């Protein structure tokens, strides 16, 4: 396959001049042909400079980037490949770029478009929320519609789920999010530099560390800062701690959803123990305020190291015992097996990433495919399951927990004295950088474009949930509606990370 | 008088027993858990609140909690606690009890439909479906008891020496019946593995989803009614597993409540050790209790004659 895209590396600064700016026809053909050859989209967004332009970051075994002027109108890419579905909807909402013939053109987060053009969806945003958007509906005597949320009975984030059911069976699920839209991407352009790390950590509390690492790596690339190895090790440790606390919490929550008491209680407590380890290092249970451009805010003292090693040695057998309890209980297996299946084919079609993708057999793990920081020195063979059901997603988590424990234990063996480079260095002008990291949900990617003066022109964040929500909607087809909470928990996607 | 006092003490003890389940579950979860008196605190809290009514609801919605509680009390009036005579009793009362319960369920379902909420309708459909199968089990058990006693009277099965008589006539079948009744108890009182009263996931619940819109004193009445219903089933099993009469009323009452406690602890252990079934497996589970009762009856056909 020949194409004119520029091959780049994860976290590598590229001058914008060197990014191929293709004519629309060429761009279109090559994009489609790239995706046809099992390529995936990492980022696909528009920006103003001074007129509207596209930028796309693609991956197969390498990362590629290319740009193009946005045409007046164009035929939707979604018609050919489902992977474009959400990206096109997002661009239509953010920059009023209307894809012709898009099968389900509907606002993603419900806000004004950035350049102030006429709205693509005909919404009046001064109206009371919720806005006037259609929901996919199925007509028929026996069909009933169930709408859940955005206010839920439990303590979860807001999201609206619209089920079309026949009896207890779900025919179609549509997920509408955007209730927590805060305008992060816009804020990142306007806010003073000092506030940026704090905004980034506020994107999604449970992914604060991964977001912070993505941001820091991008800033470091833009200002040509290189951080020492100990700081990279420290970042790896906290990222794995974040993964551990969330994966363990998820397994507990999965167990709770099938009303299996013991793992729910024990994993709930163990999750707290891992959050407390983050507290010990950073002073915050979600690890906020620790990872910053230039390194990490405090090096890990020997005392902290010993405490962490002690806690992990104490917790490891507990995690394994409870895991045996969970995965050997026939009742639990009966609930987990063949529930919420996403086939490898579907997963490939919609481009699932992270835990959900690996559970459906796709061997993509950013730590393995595009390792950054200290991950280049670690063995990160992706943990794959093939069945694509709730059990597969639980098992991927459990296997990753074991590996993360191993990584942390190994990295804690040596004293860690990192130096923080605190000096702010101006960004390179007209530069582009994309950073990818394997957050606990999957591929998290930040992208920064700077203008001629070295100011941020466009900041783009893409949470793994952006791909995976579609996976959840498809997983529910033909399932019992009563299995929805379990399927939802097995994906455990981010609402606020998606809403931005 | 004596019967009435025992009845009253049972009514007042019902929430305590529900607290026992929570305590057992907390023990298995490695937690301290709330006090066993927490159901009382909850009831007091709820009674101090005001009820909120949706504009779409009618008087049926307000009526249903009172009916659930009344039915709970009414069925217990027929129960021969600790082998003492029941407060009310007549020939054929057992059929009346079953349909009193059905009446209570009918009003709960109506109230759920009254809210016009899609979940509550779903819960109502599930409840109606599962209770049809559960009723079959209950009648199979009653058929066996009727064949043994030739009486249609709850007291005639469970009072004083009567339950020992059941054991003597058909001991091995009675083991089947106890298991079958216990399964029925789990199904009818929305316990794990049939339903999960603790998670607030509106899409998966059966009974709890129907009472989502009730609040304050109304909710308290429903919860009290639910604990009375649970007590009815638990007492039924307790009389079967502890059929003896010690002579002194006080001893009888004490041992009876101990036996009831054992049933509740068994519920707590079941809830801790099992995961919930898929919704499609619930009818199979209830059918299994029917099958047990059915075979218990068939085995005894000859013996009884």
Helix (H) or strand (E) holding A52: strand A52-59
| Cis peptide bond upstream of A196, omega within 30 | no
Q: pLDDT by residue (tens digit) across B129-146?
A: 998 999 999 998 888 888
- Partner residue facing A485 (CB), from B119, B193, B204: B204
Identify all chain B residues contacting A258, using CB atoms and an 8 Å cutoff: 275-276
Tell whether A258 is covered by a domain. yes
Q: What is the pLDDT of residue A1?
A: 59
Identify all chain A residues contacting B281, using CB atoms and an 8 Å cutoff: 334
Please check whether residue B203 touches A, CB under 8 A. Answer: yes
Q: What is the pLDDT of residue A131?
A: 61
Give the residue on A whose Cα is nearest the Cα of B198. A259
Q: pLDDT by residue (tens digit) across B37-63?
A: 999 999 999 999 998 888 888 899 999
| Cis peptide bond upstream of A50, omega within 30 | yes
Tell whether A170 is covered by a domain. no
Q: pLDDT by residue (tens digit) across A161-214?
A: 899 988 888 999 999 888 888 989 889 988 888 889 999 998 988 999 999 999
Please check whether residue B29 touches A, CB under 8 A. Answer: yes
- Partner residue facing A482 (CB), from B28, B31, B203: B203
Q: What is the pLDDT of residue B64?
A: 92
Altogether, the residues listed in chain A come to a count of 500
Mean pLDDT calculated for residue range B169-196: 86
- Partner residue facing A258 (CB), from B273, B276, B280: B276
Strand partners, A161: A148, A175
Q: What is the pLDDT of residue B123?
A: 87
Distance CA B18, CA A498 (A): 42
Same domain? A73 vs A216: no
Please check whether residue A320 touches B, CB under 8 A. Answer: no
Identify all chain B residues contacting A485, using CB atoms and an 8 Å cutoff: 199, 201, 203-204
Per the CB < 8 Å rule, is A266 touching B271?
A: no
Residue A271: Cβ-neighbour burial (10 angstroms; 0-12, 13-18, 19+): buried
Distance CA B284, CA B213 (A): 30
Distance CA B23, CA A480 (A): 32
Q: pLDDT by residue (tens digit) across B71-127?
A: 999 999 998 887 777 888 888 888 999 999 999 999 999 998 988 888 888 889 888
Per the CB < 8 Å rule, is B275 touching A144?
A: no
Q: Do B8 and B76 contact (CB within 8 A), yes or no?
A: no
Tell whether A318 is covered by a domain. yes
Give the residue on B whose Cα is nearest the Cα of A166. B122
Among the candidates A74, A100, A126, a domain finishes at A100
Tell whether A316 is covered by a domain. yes
Tell whether A471 is covered by a domain. no
Please check whether residue A144 touches B, CB under 8 A. Answer: yes
Tell whether A484 is covered by a domain. no
Q: pLDDT by residue (tens digit) across B188-242?
A: 888 888 888 776 677 888 888 888 888 889 999 999 999 999 999 999 898 888 8
Res B304 pLDDT > 60: no
Identify all chain A residues contacting B271, using CB atoms and an 8 Å cutoff: 259, 261
Q: What is the pLDDT of residue A142?
A: 86
Res B266 pLDDT > 90: yes
Q: Do A371 and A217 contact (CB within 8 A), yes or no?
A: no
CATH number at residue A439: 1.10.645.10
Please check whether residue B202 touches A, CB under 8 A. Answer: yes
Tell whether A348 is covered by a domain. yes
pTM of the model: 0.90
Q: Do A55 and A14 contact (CB within 8 A), yes or no?
A: no
Q: How many CB pairs under 8 A join A and B?
A: 94
Q: pLDDT by residue (tens digit) across B151-172?
A: 888 888 877 677 677 777 777 7
Residues 236-295 of B with CB under 8 A from A: 271-281
Among the candidates A84, A100, A116, a domain finishes at A100
Please check whether residue A259 touches B, CB under 8 A. Answer: yes
Please check whether residue A335 touches B, CB under 8 A. Answer: yes
Altogether, the residues listed in chain B come to a count of 305
Q: What is the pLDDT of residue B83?
A: 76
Beta strand ranges found along A119-184 (DSSP E): 143-148, 160-166, 169-176
Per the CB < 8 Å rule, is A480 touching B29?
A: no
Q: Do B98 and B139 contact (CB within 8 A), yes or no?
A: yes
Supply the DSSP string of B145-200, one letter for each residue: HHHHH----HHHHHSTTHHHHHHHHHHHHHHHHHHHHHHHHHHHTT-TTT--SS--
Same domain? A96 vs A189: no
The number of distinct structural domains making up chain A is: 2
Identify all chain A residues contacting B212, using CB atoms and an 8 Å cutoff: 153
Please check whether residue A483 touches B, CB under 8 A. Answer: yes
Listed as ranges, residues in chain A with pLDDT below 50 are none
At residue A289, φ and ψ (nearest 5 deg) are 80, 10
Q: What is the pLDDT of residue B200?
A: 64
Identify all chain A residues contacting B122, using CB atoms and an 8 Å cutoff: 146, 168, 481
Please check whether residue B118 touches A, CB under 8 A. Answer: yes
Per the CB < 8 Å rule, is B278 touching A334?
A: yes
- Partner residue facing A154 (CB), from B200, B274, B281: B200
Contacts of B289 (CB under 8 A, 6+ apart): B134, B137, B179, B180, B181, B183, B184, B187
Confidence of residue B303 (pLDDT cuts 50, 70, 90): low
Q: What is the pLDDT of residue A134?
A: 82
Q: How far is A301 from chain B (nearest CA, A)?
A: 33
Tell whether A259 is covered by a domain. yes
**Residue A11 lies in domain:** 6-100
Please check whether residue B204 touches A, CB under 8 A. Answer: yes
Distance CA A269, CA A314 (A): 13
- Partner residue facing A480 (CB), from B28, B273, B279: B279
Q: What is the pLDDT of residue B160?
A: 67
Q: pLDDT by residue (tens digit) across A106-148?
A: 888 888 888 888 888 877 777 766 567 788 888 888 888 888 8
């Amino acid at each position: 396959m020949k194409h004119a895209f520029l091959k780049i590396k994860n976290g590598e600064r590229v001058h914008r001049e060197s990014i191929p700016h293709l004519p629309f026809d060429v761009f279109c053909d090559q994009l489609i042909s790239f995706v046809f050859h099992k390529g995936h989209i990492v980022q696909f967004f528009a920006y103003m400079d001074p007129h509207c332009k596209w930028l796309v970051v693609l991956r197969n075994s390498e990362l590629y980037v290319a740009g193009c002027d946005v045409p007046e109108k164009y035929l939707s890419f979604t018609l050919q490949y489902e992977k474009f579905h959400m990206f096109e909807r997002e661009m239509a909402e953010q920059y009023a770029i209307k894809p012709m013939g898009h099968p389900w053109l509907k606002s993603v987060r419900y806000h004004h478009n950035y350049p102030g053009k006429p709205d693509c969806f005909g919404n009046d945003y001064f109206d009371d929320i919720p806005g006037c958007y259609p929901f996919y509906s199925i007509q028929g005597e026996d069909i009933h519609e169930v709408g859940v949320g955005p206010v839920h009975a439990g303590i979860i984030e807001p999201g609206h789920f619209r089920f079309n059911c026949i009896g207890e069976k779900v025919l179609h699920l549509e997920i509408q999010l955007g209730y927590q839209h805060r305008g992060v991407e816009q804020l990142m352009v306007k806010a003073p530099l000092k506030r940026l790390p704090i905004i980034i950590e506020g994107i999604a509390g449970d992914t604060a560390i991964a977001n912070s690492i993505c941001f820091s790596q991008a800033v470091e690339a833009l200002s040509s800062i290189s951080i020492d190895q100990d700081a990279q090790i420290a970042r790896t440790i906290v990222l794995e701690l974040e993964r551990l606390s969330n994966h363990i919490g998820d397994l507990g929550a999965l167990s709770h959803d099938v009303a299996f008491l013991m793992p729910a209680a024990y994993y709930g407590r163990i999750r707290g123990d891992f959050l407390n380890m983050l507290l010990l290092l950073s002073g915050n249970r979600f690890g906020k305020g620790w990872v910053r451009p230039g390194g990490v805010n405090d090096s890990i003292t020997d005392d902290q190291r010993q405490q962490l090693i002690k806690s992990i040695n104490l917790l490891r057998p507990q995690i394994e015992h409870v895991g045996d309890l969970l995965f050997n209980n026939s009742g639990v297996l009966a609930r987990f097996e063949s529930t919420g299946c996403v086939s490898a084919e579907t997963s490939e079609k919609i481009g699932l990433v992270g835990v959900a993708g690996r559970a459906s057999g796709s061997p993509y793990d950013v730590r393995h495919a595009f390792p950054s920081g200290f991950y280049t020195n670690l063995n990160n063979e992706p943990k794959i399951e093939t069945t694509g059901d709730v059990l597969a997603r639980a098992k991927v988590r459990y296997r990753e927990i074991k590996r993360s424990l191993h990584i942390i234990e190994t990295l804690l063996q040596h004293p860690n004295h990192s130096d923080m480079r605190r000096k702010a260095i101006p960004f390179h002008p007209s530069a582009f950088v994309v950073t990818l990291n394997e957050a606990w949900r999957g591929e998290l990617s930040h992208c920064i474009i700077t203008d001629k003066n070295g100011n941020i022109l466009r900041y783009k964040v893409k949470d793994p949930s952006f791909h995976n929500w579609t996976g959840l909607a498809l997983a529910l087809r033909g399932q019992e509606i009563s299995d929805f909470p379990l399927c939802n928990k097995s994906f455990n996607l981010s609402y606020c990370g998606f809403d931005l | 008088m004596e019967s009435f006092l025992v009845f009253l003490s049972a009514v007042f003890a019902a929430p305590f027993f529900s607290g026992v389940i929570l305590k057992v579950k907390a023990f298995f979860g490695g937690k301290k858990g709330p006090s066993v008196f927490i159901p009382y605190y909850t009831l007091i809290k709820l009674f101090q609140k005001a009820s909120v009514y949706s504009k779409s609801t009618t008087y049926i919605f307000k009526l249903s909690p009172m009916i659930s509680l009344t039915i709970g009390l009414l069925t217990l009036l027929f129960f021969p606690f600790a082998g003492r005579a029941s407060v009310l009793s007549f020939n054929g009362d057992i059929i009346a009890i079953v349909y009193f319960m059905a009446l209570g369920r009918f009003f709960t379902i109506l109230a759920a439909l009254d809210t016009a909420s899609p979940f509550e309708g779903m819960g109502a459909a599930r409840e109606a479906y599962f209770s049809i199968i559960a009723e079959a089990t209950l009648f199979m058990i009653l058929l066996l008891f009727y064949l043994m006693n030739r009486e249609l009277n709850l007291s005639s099965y469970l009072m004083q020496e009567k339950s020992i008589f059941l054991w003597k006539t058909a001991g091995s079948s009675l083991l089947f019946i106890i298991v079958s009744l216990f399964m029925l108890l789990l199904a009818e009182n929305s316990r794990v593995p049939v339903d999960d009263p603790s998670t607030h996931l509106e899409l998966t619940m059966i009974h709890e989803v129907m009472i989502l819109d009730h609040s304050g004193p109304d909710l308290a009445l429903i919860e009290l009614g639910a604990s009375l219903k649970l007590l009815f089933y638990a007492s039924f099993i307790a009389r079967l597993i502890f059929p003896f009469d010690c002579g002194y009323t006080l001893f009888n009452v004490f041992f009876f409540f101990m036996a009831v406690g054992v049933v509740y602890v068994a519920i707590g252990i079941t809830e801790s050790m099992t995961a919930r079934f898929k919704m499609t497996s619930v009818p199979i589970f209830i059918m299994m209790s029917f099958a047990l009762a059915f075979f218990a009856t068939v085995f005894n056909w000859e013996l009884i004659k």
